[in-house]
Structure 1
Amino acid sequence: MLFASDLDQTLIYSVRAFRLLPDHNPPAMSAVETYDGRDISYMTDQAIKHLLQFASRASFVPVTTRTIEQYQRISLFRDVIPSVYAVVSNGGNVLVNGMIDQGWNQRVKSNISKMCMCAQDILSQFAEISHSSWAGSLKLADDCFHYCIVERENIPTEELTSFSLWAKSQNWNISLQGRKLYLVPAVVNKWDAVLYVRNLLEEKMIISAGDSLLDLCMLERADYAIAPKHGEVWESYSKGMLPSLSVQFTNQAGILAAEEILDYVGQFTAYKMQA
């Protein structure tokens, strides 16, 4: 059994993403990421406890759009729950004991050149709609995809939607997550990387969790899947845009959703131990 889970706003949360009700007593929580001397990401202590229990019984694989450097800032997966495998760069890289799996990385880059429009042409088309009033400068992440910081309230929605549809026809995915806009070759995806790790581990069942449209490939194809009641997936589903999606959603949004996600996953290990 393999649990492949997105991290930001699925298992770990910044203060702005807690989504705690005003009258809700804050749960006991611990910092799991520090940057420039500041604690910036958290999990509830209960969620950490549940994840520790699961990781001791089955395979847990962190899956993230974060770059390698950004992923390595998360102390939880370095000091508390070390994972042999991690999927980073949105699937463009697989880490094995913290080191890049060069074979997988080269396979991804080969597929990009064969199957996707070249990045220069995609970026040239994006430049026609982007403006400093809403889009910051594009950054290249681990030589796998591009992203920029945006001002959501200023985004020209119709133009971005039109660009996204065109990009999809060129085998690129456009995803807006919080204040970040991602431009990602379709072959750089989390599901293909998770399958690669599953085969290395010789696991059969995959349970996945995630909140963004970049997680959708995992949620749709895993044996079982769960998503928090917030984020792109929930918003799209609640608007009827994903009518065929068969995914369990949490009852709560925000940091408390992580506990529900891990409770859901824990049911499978409990059943396995009883069988």
Structure 2
Amino acid sequence: MILFTSDLDRTLIYSNTMMQTYPIAGDVVPVEHNEELIRSYMSHDSMELLKQFSKEHLFVPVTTRAVHEYERIHAIARDINPKYAITTNGGNVLIDGKPDLEWNKIVKSRLSEQSQPKEEMLRTFAKIRHESWVLGEYYVDDLFFMFRVDRELVPRGELAEFQAELAPMGWSIFLHGRKLYVLPTCLDKAYAVQYLQTFVEYDLHVAAGDSMMDYAMLLEADYGYSQTHGELYEKQPNDEKVIFLNGLGAMSTEELLRNILELNVVR
């Protein structure tokens, strides 16, 4: 059996903008609605391949989204209905749709031991924060911050200094598109996957993700896939530890799913 831990946005599912940027010839299907608006899509073939994979193997969605944002992706959360899911950048492990309390205890313990309180981080951030480039603030599932930013106006030098100050405080940052994530360092998708691996049975671990926030998870897997439309390829195009897919957008997802369905699980 293959354990497939996969990021969602820009790895399996795509916004309308991404679908327009990388159009496909085949049909597309809505996979996420919010306030009656379609927020995300998959190609029809990708959806069918993912359903096939989920019947034969163990698919675990792994996302930085909050729990309620993951639940909006009805085609995955409800239709495929995976037994396990990881949300909040590893902060929550869902089993049959409910947070695993044992993992929550582990996360809280690590946060108290390894990271300074969020108030200390915010005081440090206040030195460089300005309304000209910080457009919104969100505290995600009481675990980390996501700031919407004007990417063109982000003061890169000051941000690098902020990152250096955060390291000994047990916090880290990721600038991903128009989002600036500020997270406790111990909050990582890879740690949640490691926890899951202690009680699920599988023969081969495959991981996929497009950003630096997925990188540790990819390194932990037997096969780590990423897209050339993603941040990881932009920053580390020659990384020999990652298998970069040839397709772009939804076509890369079809390529990914076909590849892992053809993998020989005998090790």
Q: Do they fold alike, i.e. is TM over 0.5?
A: yes
Alpha-carbon distance in 1 for matches of 2:232, 2:166: 20
Partner of 1:235: 234
**Does the 8 Å contact 2:172/2:182 carry over to 1?**
yes
- The amino acid that maps onto 1:76 is A
Alignment coverage as a number of residue pairs: 266
Equivalent in the alignment of 2:76: 77
Q: In 2, are the aligned partners of 1:19 and 1:255 still within 8 Å (CA)? A: no
User: In the alignment, does 2:1 pair up with 1:6?
Assistant: no
One-letter amino acid matched to 1:88 = T
Distance 1:90 1:45 in 2: 27
Question: Does the alignment pair 1:272 with 2:254?
Answer: no
Whether the 8 Å contact between 1:115 and 1:171 is mirrored in structure 2 is: yes
Aligned positions of 1:14-29 closer than 5 A? 14-18=15-19, 20=21, 26-29=25-28
SS of alignment partner, residue 198 of structure 2:
helix
CA contact (8 A) 2:24 2:250 kept: no
1:67 paired residue number: 66
Structure 2 Cα separation of the partners of residues 19 and 116 of structure 1: 41
Q: Do structure 1's residue 263 and structure 2's residue 264 form an aligned pair? A: no
Decide whether the 8 Å contact of 1:65 with 1:89 is kept in 2.
yes
Match of 1:250 among 225, 234, 245: 245
Cα distance between partner residues in 1 of 2:235 and 2:24 = 30
CA RMSD of aligned residues (A): 1.8
CA distance in 2, matches of 1:187, 1:265: 29
CA contact (8 A) 1:111 1:187 kept: yes
Cα gap change, 1:57/1:149 in structure 2, threshold over 3 Å: closer, same or farther? same
Cα 1:136–1:20 shift into 2, 3 Å: closer
1:101-250 equivalence runs, <5 A: 101-238=100-237, 243=239, 245-250=240-245
What CA distance in whole angstroms lies between the structure 1 residues aligned with 2:96 and 2:57? 17
Deviations 1:147-202 (CA, angstroms, capped at 9, x unpaired): 11111111111111221233234332211222111001111111111121122213
How far the C-alpha of 1:204 sits from its partner, in A, is: 4.2
Q: What secondary structure sits across from 1:272 in the alignment?
A: coil
| TM superposition shift of 1:253 | 2.2
Partner SS, residue 200 of structure 1: coil
Distance (Å, rounded) in 2 between the aligned partners of 1:25 and 1:85: 30
Letter in structure 2 aligned against 1:3: F
Deviation per residue, 1:85-124 (Å, 9 max, x gap): 1000110001111111111011101101101222211111
TM-score normalised by the chain length of structure 1: 0.91
Q: Residue 41 of structure 2 corresponds to which residue in structure 1?
A: 42
Q: Deviations over 1:44-97 (max 9, x none)?
A: 011111111111111000000000010000111233211011000110001111
Helix, strand or coil for the counterpart of 1:262? Answer: helix
* Letter of the 2:42 counterpart: M
Give the residue type in structure 2 aligned to 1:133: S
- The runs of 5 or more residues in structure 2 that have no matched partner are none
Q: Give the whole-Å Cα distance in 1 for the aligned partners of 2:231 and 2:164.
A: 17
Amino acid at match of 2:179: K
Report the secondary structure of 1:235's partner residue: helix
1:19 and 1:253 in contact (8 A); partners too: no
Structure 1 unaligned blocks of 5 or more: none
Checking the alignment, whether the CA contact within 8 Å between 1:19 and 1:254 is kept in structure 2 is no
SS at match of 1:65: coil
Query: Which residue identity does 2:56 align to in structure 1?
Result: R
Q: Does 2:85 correspond to 1:86?
A: yes
The amino acid across from 2:17 in the alignment is R
Deviation at 1:132, TM superposition (A): 0.6
